[in-house]
Amino acid sequence: MCVFNRMDTDGDETDCDRDEENEAEEEKNWLILPDVQDCIGAIDGTHVRASVREHEQPKYIGRKGYATQNIMAACDFNMCFTFAWAGWEGAAHDTRIFNEALRRPEINFPHPIGG
């Protein structure tokens, strides 16, 4: 997996004032850039409200202030889900879930070929 931030040629972050013609051309070609050629998709976490027993609530209460489950999902560049892992306590950090998915082969977390 990789993180990609669009940058100008001078290394500064891009402005959002690009003309539409250049933007369309970049959209077609961004996957062939060296920084993203091995990417297989995008990954993110989301919190969904959860109903849990009162004695278990503290570990499910995170930044939202109420009980949630943290769900990690990945999708490919066709916007199709390739992975989802639900059930984590709301207090669990996204990095913890991601590292656990990498550590456990039985989860079948998607990896780039050879990665």
Q: Please give the model's pTM, rounded to 2 decimal places.
A: 0.64
What would the mean pLDDT of 90-109 be, rounded to a whole number? 92
Strands (E), the chain: 42-49, 68-75, 81-89
Q: Tell me the per-residue pLDDT of 13-56, one tens digit each, with 9 for 90 and over.
A: 444 444 555 555 555 565 566 666 677 888 999 999 999 999 99
Q: Is residue 115 part of a domain?
A: no
Q: Is residue 112 part of a domain?
A: no
Query: Domain check: are 44 and 33 in the same one?
Result: no
Question: What is the pLDDT, as a whole number, of residue 77?
Answer: 81
**Domain enclosing residue 33, as ranges:** 1-38
pLDDT at 108 over 50: yes
Question: What is the pLDDT, as a whole number, of residue 76?
Answer: 86
Is-contact 40 76, C-beta < 8 A?
A: yes
pLDDT at 72 over 90: yes
Query: Domain check: are 102 and 46 in the same one?
Result: yes
DSSP state for residue 104 in the 8-state scheme: -
Q: Is residue 31 part of a domain?
A: yes
